[in-house]
Chain A
Amino acid sequence: MDEFTPPPPDLAASPPPPPPAAISGSPTDFLKGVVGKKVIVRLTSGVDYRGVLSCLDGYMNIAMEQTAEYVNGVVTNQYGDAFIRGNNVLYISADEPL
């Protein structure tokens, strides 16, 4: 008879599910997860470096591979390997799904 039965109120009021794993965790977890992945590193000067993140340390010094340097969206240099001194880093952005 009753074709549509709404869910019991207690179920509907259950807490929202936890966020997906990809967006949970600490900044350190993000950095651990992004090692070996393609990233975009932006420096405070506005220059971008796109490449594969080899590793990084507590100063946020960064080693990258297959790196292309972008100034105003134009490739200005390419490096097989690059060390970036951490004090220049503004952010590290994942350039592929984690």
Chain B
Amino acid sequence: MDSSSSGIQEPFDLIRLSLSERVFVKLRGDRELTGVLHAYDGHMNLILSDVEETIMIVEPIEGALEGQGSVKVAKRKMEMLFVRGDGVILVSPPSRT
């Protein structure tokens, strides 16, 4: 039996153990979410509640190098959210002690 420190056999176990917990989700398009995970499926479609979305908007400065600019951060809150799985890059459960 593969007993790594947390004792999970497949990556989705990590998500299953995070149900009803507040998770951090990194999405395509410089977006991040935190919310309570209610449901997920094999595509990583997610149902989150009490969600805060953080959007990083990079505004290029004239005369500055490519990739340099001021980063604006926009936030918004949503009560309930369905996230389509193909936008998900990373999901991190709350660090358990």
By a beta-carbon cutoff of 8 Å, the part of chain A in contact with chain B is 35-36, 43, 45, 49, 52, 54-57, 61-63, 65, 79-85, 87-88
By a beta-carbon cutoff of 8 Å, the part of chain B in contact with chain A is 2, 4-6, 8-15, 24, 44, 85-86, 88-93, 95-96
Determine whether the beta carbon of B89 is less than 8 Å from that of A55.
no
Cβ of A61: which chain B residues have Cβ within 8 Å of it?
A: 11-12
For the residues of A in contact with B, the DSSP-based class is strand
Residue in A52, A62, A63 whose beta carbon sits within 8 Å of that of B13 in the complex: A63
For the residues of B in contact with A, the DSSP-based class is mixed
Q: How far is B10's CA from A87's CA once the two chains are assembled, in angstroms?
A: 16
**17 A-B pairs in the complex with CB atoms less than 8 angstroms apart:** A49-B90, A54-B4, A54-B11, A56-B11, A57-B11, A61-B11, A61-B12, A62-B11, A63-B11, A63-B14, A65-B4, A65-B6, A81-B93, A83-B92, A84-B89, A84-B90, A85-B85
Determine whether the beta carbon of B5 is less than 8 Å from that of A65.
yes
Determine whether the beta carbon of A85 is less than 8 Å from that of B92.
no
Smallest Cβ-Cβ distance to B10: which chain A residue? A57
Smallest Cβ-Cβ distance to B87: which chain A residue? A85
Determine whether the beta carbon of A81 is less than 8 Å from that of B5.
no
Smallest Cβ-Cβ distance to A67: which chain B residue? B92
Distance between A83 CB and nearest chain B CB, rounded to angstroms: 4
Q: How far is B8's CA from A52's CA once the two chains are assembled, in angstroms?
A: 13
